[in-house]
């Protein structure tokens, strides 16, 4: 189609794998620019023949349109190639038996087609068919297709220059095949480009062929290099600090191939490929430069030319990490890989390869200007014994004129034969060292059609989780049947009876038991008057209407009567039965009302969900685990379908090392929402603790599948796989987590930058403000106003909470208050993580966040200490500048839970050294000193903590413990103010108790009683609250109330 009008006669030549399959007949071009060739040809394809399955994978059919010129007298007929088209045979390896394509026709320069209008694109309509499928069903399902794309080499040595003799830049790697054979994939004819613009994206990939006359036909149809962010690559130069170097190198001098080499792997080769990757993590990709030999001239011997042409310069090697291909679902790796000097010993140590692939392929590397070699070897090579000519080439002494032609700083590597290989000689390419000096790297992609390790589908993972987690029982069915109808009738009768009794009392007053029984005549008179009042006021009609709907419901639900009666007798019989039944049920309801004392309704709890959570944490801190369990169960009693309540209770069970009970809680949460990520992760954690590793893998894998952007999910998966000695998947999971974290941090950095630009000259403050807390006036009685917050504490709104003028001398003879004899609490899921509140100064020089510390924050909140230690161990190994303050804080937290005070003190000492201005460090140190009964040091640490602009993460317990120290030191004014600060942020029974005790010691009995009443309202089972209330009553002369408080 679209052949130029001045072209009259053409034919098509079909080639495959270097063989001409035939020419079509000469065909005239029609006036509309089309020519109908109707040409058919064929070739054979067999595993052992000249055209193998691997040839089908990477070699296209080449179609050349040739113009036949009119021959002049006594001259031969002349032909001129017009254009070429290629047909990719890959669909034949994908199970298709026939397909039809319209192959674009690209001009052969110089050609008349080059002058065509851009919209008038020529093309050939081609149909490809085979008699039977090339692959059996087993080969199709178990085989694979490997594609290797070599894009370019960047930051190449300065010695690479376009001047001088022509050079051929090559790269090669070997792919295992069945048995001991291997496929060498050779990329030749790299193009040296000078500094300038970057390579465009996307750009087409090229066929590994050189005998294509039309440049456009070198592009593989529908196959492009698209690039992508450096951080998403799998290579070595994918860090943020490498970005600038990569950008500069891509616009400097480089070697470009842009070639894709595909090869078919039968099922046996796929197994070998998996085995080789598992045995050896890195695969070598060799690069080199060779002289392009000119045609022989003069009397130069073949031996001389062979010796000259078969020497390689700038021999380097890049090590490609193939391990990601063994991870489930991974089908490709792409990235930049540094090029190093090729050394046999180093290559063998890293890749277990004993010799260079270039030396193995030396017979195929003879290059001339006229006949460039076609890259890509279709048949596996074998180590053949060198021929006699080859031996002569090697054994012949090097002539002086040859050495003069060599570069002064380069040592050419002579291709070895079998005898040299046996000597285990280490070849060192001195010019290859220039790769390292220049920082050369290759950008390449290795892709599979199907993943070597299939990834479980999301549906399968969900199904497995449902099998492990029994479904929650369905909600109880709505009881709207006969039983409910009768209960409703009872309720209406009771309600009406109570209303009638109230009317009776209004008319006649209440009859006291000591007045005796009322005579019958009086009762009848009262009944008549009551009926009159009910009818006169309309209440009788209202009661009847109210009862009517309950009776109708009984008729429908109890007697199942919804249709009309056929005869009057049936109606009367039914009414008689219904009347008897209603009277009986009325008597039952009245008897229950008159002769049984109704149970008093349970008073509604005044405590909210947040208060119950706070009280549970306080009980945990005080080691009153029984009370903490009660509070957790009360939260669940309020709402059993709240996932967070089950997770908090499960984390509490982990604190008590009740793993089985924690598992029940987490599974209960997961049964409420099978897609809840935290529940999946916690189920996996407890499964590991119970050594149910198969279940744990399913939980972690499902979490990563449902939330692929979760850094914590990928990191926990990596820790789990490492626990299973599955280093391949562990490395993959950690790499994915790091990639996600880098993207998150980059996004977070972009937000303040955009705000800074938008705000103009406005200065952005870095001060962190605590989240607003409930107004304390809502729970504080009017008599105890917030005017109690007097100096020396600063007024509300001030930046600092420093207690002015407090002597820091250590107290003598102090004992911890009975309310606060505890250890450091574990932080719950609703609490801000203790690592998340750096000081203002440290925030400016905060060390970079890592995936392991981000995971530690989550694990500490759920008391998963086993995984905390694993994550901290990784954090210690991954940090180049030493452990961070957050690392030591987390480690100190775990030591405090185990009451290992000496180790905790060491960690906090290092944390103070790293970040002296971090309030969390001083809060932790205060807790440590408090538990060690060093109350003077604890008070100093607590006072330093509350003096910072930013609050520590656990200020509630800082205030509680500092207030208890003030009480013991008899500094009641400061104790009162400290406890009031705690009440302002998070009021509890213990905070109001502290206020009450301080006010009692200050002899302010009114405010003390008010504060203790608030404490009693939040928890009426605290004996100390009742004790102080009894003392206050005794002080006021209220002996009866004092006795009641004391007895309670």
Residue 1032 exposed, middle or buried by CB count within 10 Å (0-12, 13-18, 19+) = buried
Place of tokens 């052949």: 3
Residue 965: how many other CB atoms lie within 10 Å: 26
pLDDT at 247: 92
Taking phi over 0 as left and psi of -120 to 50 as alpha, with beta for the rest, 227 belongs to left
- What φ, ψ does residue 14 adopt, rounded to 5°? -110, 130
Query: How far is it, in rounded angstroms, from Cα 892 to Cα 927?
Result: 11
Residues of CATH 1.25.40 domain(s) within the chain?
819-945
Between CA 408 and CA 427 the distance in angstroms is 18
Find out whether 106 and 217 touch, Cβ atoms under 8 Å: yes
- What is the reported pLDDT for 122? 80
Residue partners of 279: CB distance under 8 A and separation at least 6: 352
- Residue ranges in 622-726 assigned as alpha helix (H): 625-638, 643-655, 659-672, 677-689, 693-706, 711-723
* Successive 10-residue mean pLDDT values, the chain, 1048 residues: 64 91 88 86 83 89 88 71 91 91 87 53 88 88 92 92 84 79 86 88 89 88 89 84 90 93 90 88 90 58 50 88 87 93 89 80 54 35 36 39 36 38 44 87 94 83 76 58 84 89 83 66 85 86 87 83 83 89 89 66 65 91 90 90 93 94 93 92 95 93 92 95 90 89 83 60 38 36 32 34 31 34 34 36 52 93 93 86 87 91 92 90 92 91 90 90 92 93 90 94 91 90 90 89 83
User: Are the beta carbons of 365 and 358 closer than 8 angstroms?
Assistant: yes
CATH 1.20.58 for the 819-945 domain, yes or no:
no
Question: What burial class does residue 301 get, using C-beta atoms within 10 Å of its C-beta: 0-12 exposed, 13-18 middle, 19+ buried?
Answer: exposed
Beta bridge partners of 98: 129
What is the C-alpha to C-alpha distance for residues 118 and 675, in angstroms, rounded to an integer?
54
Distance, in Å, from the CA atom of 914 to the CA atom of 302, rounded to the nearest integer, reads: 72
> Residue 203 and residue 226: Cα distance in Å, rounded?
7
- Which residues are paired to 316 by β-bridges? 287, 341
Cα Rg of the chain (Å, integer): 44
d(CA 111, CA 126): 22
Which pLDDT score, from 0 to 100, does residue 753 have?
Answer: 63
Output the six-digit token pair for 358: 């270039």
Q: Which pLDDT value is given to residue 286?
A: 93
């Amino acid at each position: 189609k679209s052949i130029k009008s001045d072209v009259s006669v053409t034919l098509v030549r079909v080639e495959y794998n270097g063989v001409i399959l035939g020419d079509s007949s000469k065909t005239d071009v029609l006036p509309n620019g089309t020519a109908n060739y109707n040409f058919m040809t064929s070739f054979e394809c067999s595993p052992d023949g000249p055209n193998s399955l691997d040839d089908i994978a990477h070699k296209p059919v080449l179609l050349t349109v040739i113009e036949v010129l009119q021959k002049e007298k006594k001259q031969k007929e002349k032909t001129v190639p017009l254009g070429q088209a290629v047909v990719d045979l890959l669909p034949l390896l994908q199970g298709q038996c026939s397909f039809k394509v319209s192959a674009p026709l690209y001009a052969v320069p110089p050609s008349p087609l080059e002058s065509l209008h851009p919209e008038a694109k020529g093309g050939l309509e081609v149909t490809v068919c085979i008699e039977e499928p090339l692959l059996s069903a087993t080969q199709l399902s178990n085989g694979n297709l490997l594609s290797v794309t070599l894009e370019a080499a960047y930051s190449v040595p300065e010695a690479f220059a376009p001047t001088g003799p022509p050079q051929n830049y090559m790269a090669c790697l070997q792919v295992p095949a069945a048995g001991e054979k291997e496929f060498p994939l050779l990329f030749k004819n790299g193009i040296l480009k000078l500094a300038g613009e970057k390579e465009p994206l996307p750009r087409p990939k090229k066929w590994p062929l050189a005998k294509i006359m039309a440049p456009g036909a070198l592009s593989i149809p529908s196959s492009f290099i698209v690039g992508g962010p450096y951080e998403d690559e799998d290579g070595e130069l994918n860090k943020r600090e490498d970005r600038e170097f990569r950008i500069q190198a891509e616009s400097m001098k480089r070697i470009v191939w842009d070639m894709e080499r595909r090869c078919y792997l039968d099922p046996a080769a796929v197994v070998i490929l998996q085995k080789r990757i598992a045995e050896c993590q890195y695969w070598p990709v060799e690069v080199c430069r060779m002289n392009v030999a000119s045609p022989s001239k003069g009397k130069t011997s073949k031996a001389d030319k062979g010796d000259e042409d078969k020497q390689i310069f700038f021999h380097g090697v890049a090590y490609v990490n193939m391990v990601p291909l063994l991870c489930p679902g991974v089908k490709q790796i792409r990235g930049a890989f540094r090029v190093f000097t090729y050394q046999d010993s180093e290559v063998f140590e890293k890749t277990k390869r004993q010799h260079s692939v270039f030396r193995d392929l030396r017979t195929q590397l003879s290059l001339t200007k006229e006949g460039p070699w076609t890259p890509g070897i279709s048949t596996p090579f074998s180590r053949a014994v060198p021929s006699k000519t080859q031996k002569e080439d090697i054994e012949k002494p090097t002539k002086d004129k040859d050495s003069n032609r060599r570069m002064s700083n380069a040592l050419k590597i002579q291709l070895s034969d079998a005898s040299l290989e046996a000597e285990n000689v280490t070849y060192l390419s001195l010019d290859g060292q220039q790769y390292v000096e220049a920082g050369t790297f290759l950008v390449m992609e290795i892709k599979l059609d199907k993943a070597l390790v299939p990834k479980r589908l999301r549906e399968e993972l969900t199904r497995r989780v449902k099998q492990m987690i029994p479904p929650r029982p369905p909600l109880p069915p709505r009881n709207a049947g006969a039983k409910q109808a009768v209960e409703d009738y009872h309720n209406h009768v009771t309600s009406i009876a109570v209303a009638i009794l109230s009317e009776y009392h209004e008319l006649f007053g209440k009859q006291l038991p000591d007045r005796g029984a009322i005579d019958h005549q009086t009762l009848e008179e009262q009944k008549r008057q009551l009926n009159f009042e009910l009818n006169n006021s309309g209440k009788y009609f209202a009661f009847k209407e109210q009862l009517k709907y309950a009776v109708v419901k009984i008729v429908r639900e109890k007697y199942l009567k919804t249709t009309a009666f056929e005869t009057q007798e049936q109606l009367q019989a039914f009414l008689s039965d219904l009347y008897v039944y209603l009277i009986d049920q009325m008597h039952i309801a009245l008897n229950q009302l008159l002769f049984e004392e109704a149970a008093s309704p349970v008073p509604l709890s005044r405590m909210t969900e947040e208060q119950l959570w706070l009280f549970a944490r306080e009980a945990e801190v005080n080691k009153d685990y029984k009370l903490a369990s009660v509070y957790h169960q009360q939260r669940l009693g309020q709402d059993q379908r709240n996932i967070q309540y089950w997770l908090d209770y499960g984390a509490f069970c982990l604190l008590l090392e009740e793993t089985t009970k924690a598992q029940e809680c987490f599974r209960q949460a997961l049964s409420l929402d099978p897609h809840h990520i935290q529940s999946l992760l916690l189920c996996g954690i407890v499964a590991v603790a119970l050594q149910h590793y198969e279940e744990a893998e399913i939980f972690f894998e499902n979490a990563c599948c449902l939330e692929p952007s979760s850094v914590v999910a990928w990191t926990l998966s990596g820790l789990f796989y490492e626990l299973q000695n599955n280093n391949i998947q562990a490395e993959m999971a950690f790499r994915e987590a790091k990639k996600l974290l880098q993207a998150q941090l980059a996004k977070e950095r972009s937000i303040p930058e955009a705000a800074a630009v938008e705000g103009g000259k406005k200065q952005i403050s870095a001060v962190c403000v605590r989240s607003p807390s409930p107004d304390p006036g809502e729970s504080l009685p009017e008599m105890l106003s917030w005017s109690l917050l007097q100096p020396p504490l600063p007024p509300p709104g001030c930046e600092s909470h420093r207690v002015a003028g407090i002597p820091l001398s250590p107290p003598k003879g102090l004992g911890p208050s009975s309310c606060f004899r505890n250890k450091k609490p574990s932080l719950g899921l609703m609490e801000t993580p203790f690592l998340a509140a750096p000081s203002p100064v440290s925030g400016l020089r905060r060390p970079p966040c890592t995936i392991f510390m981000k995971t530690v924050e989550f694990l500490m909140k759920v008391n998963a200490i086993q995984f905390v230690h694993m994550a901290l161990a990784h954090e210690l190994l991954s940090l180049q500048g030493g452990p961070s303050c957050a690392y030591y804080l987390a480690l100190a937290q775990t030591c405090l839970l185990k009451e290992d005070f000496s180790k905790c003190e060491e960690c906090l000492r290092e944390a103070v050294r790293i970040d002296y201005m971090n309030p969390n460090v001083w809060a932790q140190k205060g807790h440590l000193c408090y538990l060690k009964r060093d109350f003077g040091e604890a008070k100093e640490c607590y006072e330093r903590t509350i003096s910072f602009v930013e609050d520590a993460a656990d200020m509630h317990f800082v205030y509680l413990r500092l207030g208890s120290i003030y009480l013991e030191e008899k500094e009641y004014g400061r104790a009162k103010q400290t406890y009031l600060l705690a009440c302002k942020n998070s009021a509890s029974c213990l905070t109001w108790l502290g206020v009450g005790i301080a006010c009692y010691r200050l002899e302010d009995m009114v405010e003390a009683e008010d504060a203790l009443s608030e404490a009693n309202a939040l928890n009426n089972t605290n004996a100390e609250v009742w004790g102080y209330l009894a003392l206050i009553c005794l002080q006021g002369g209220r002996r009866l109330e004092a006795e009641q408080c004391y007895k309670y």
